[in-house]
Amino acid sequence: MNCAETQEQLSAFHDRELASEIRKRTSEHLKNCPICGSALAEFEAISGLTQQLSDPEPPADLWAKIEDELVVRPAVAPIRTRKWRWTAVPQIAVSLVVLFTVGWFILGRSDSLRHQSNRQLTKNFGQFVDRLQSDPDAATQILLTNYAGQRVTASQATTLLGYQPVATRKLPSGYSLDSVCVLEMPCCKCPQTVYRRDTGGAIAIFEHNEAQPVWLGDRPLITANCSGVPTCVVQLDTLLAATWQHDRRYLTVIGANDVQEIAFLINHFRLLRNETLPT
């Protein structure tokens, strides 16, 4: 199964409503795909919040008031006017209707804003991808403008983030450092590092807290094991992007020439885990 098929099944997978064969295929994909795994975690988090909601406690004298209303009255009663008296039952019903309406509005509004934000993210990263090879500085400026970013040195990035971005620790062979930025992304405070290849062209590395499939929209993608690491690889016209989990965070590389370059970078960053390097 690919990511699009899997994400369509996530709700049913979480609720255990899938046929055994489809559930097995979905489960296999989730084990190897950090992006779909992150999406499933969102479903589970929402479900957990829903389960924490408690039912409203009825008033202690509710049943007595209901019994009072059920007292048998004479078949013929004198006609008299009286003001409408609200009872506890209608009050609770109205409260629930108001609560449901307000909740529905808030959830709908939140969902609408999230989709709008996602569309803008995809648009901004689309422009970034289009400019990265021809003008890396202009490409970077697109994200700096939209996400309150700043160009920094490697040491300044460490101070701002509270950790040293892995892409600034030690450059891989065949690359030089072009720029380092810190972006205030919707997901987290995110470092962006741009390398220049000795052979020409540029590549950007982002380090972030959660997988971010929305950045690259609905471009074609596959899940593959690159150097033994589950990796989502996205087609960018003639180039590639890739996302994989690195320690507690995720790395996204944009502008790779091929899968071999992605595997090379995965191995390079993996080797840095066991090295002690100056900040």
CATH 3.30.70.1450 for domain 117-274: no
**pLDDT computed for residue 96 by the predictor:** 60
Enumerate the domain spans of the chain.
Answer: 3-45, 117-274
* pTM for this model (two decimals): 0.62
Inter-residue contact 170 to 163 (CB < 8 Å) = no
Alpha helices in the chain (DSSP H): 3-8, 10-14, 20-32, 34-52, 62-69, 88-132, 136-146, 154-161, 259-271
Q: Mind listing the pLDDT tens digit for each residue in 22-62?
A: 888 888 888 887 777 777 777 676 666 556 656 566 677 76
Those residues with Cβ within 8 angstroms of residue 2's Cβ, 6 or more apart along the chain or in another chain: 29, 221, 222, 223
Q: What is the strand order of the sheet 150-152 is part of?
A: 150-152, 175-184, 189-197, 202-208, 249-256, 239-246, 229-236, 221-226
Model pLDDT, residue 44? 74
CB 269 within 8 A of CB 166: yes
| pLDDT (tens digit per residue) in 221-259 | 999 999 999 999 999 989 999 999 999 999 999 999 999
Mean pLDDT (whole number) for 78-91? 56
Q: Residue 113 has what pLDDT?
A: 43
pLDDT above 70: residue 7: yes
What integer best gives the mean pLDDT of the chain? 82
Segment 125-141, tens digit of pLDDT: 999 999 999 999 999 99
Residue 57: per-residue pLDDT: 66
Q: How confident is the model at residue 106 (pLDDT cuts 50, 70, 90)?
A: very low
* CB 235 within 8 Å of CB 218: no
Q: What percent of the chain has pLDDT over 90?
A: 51
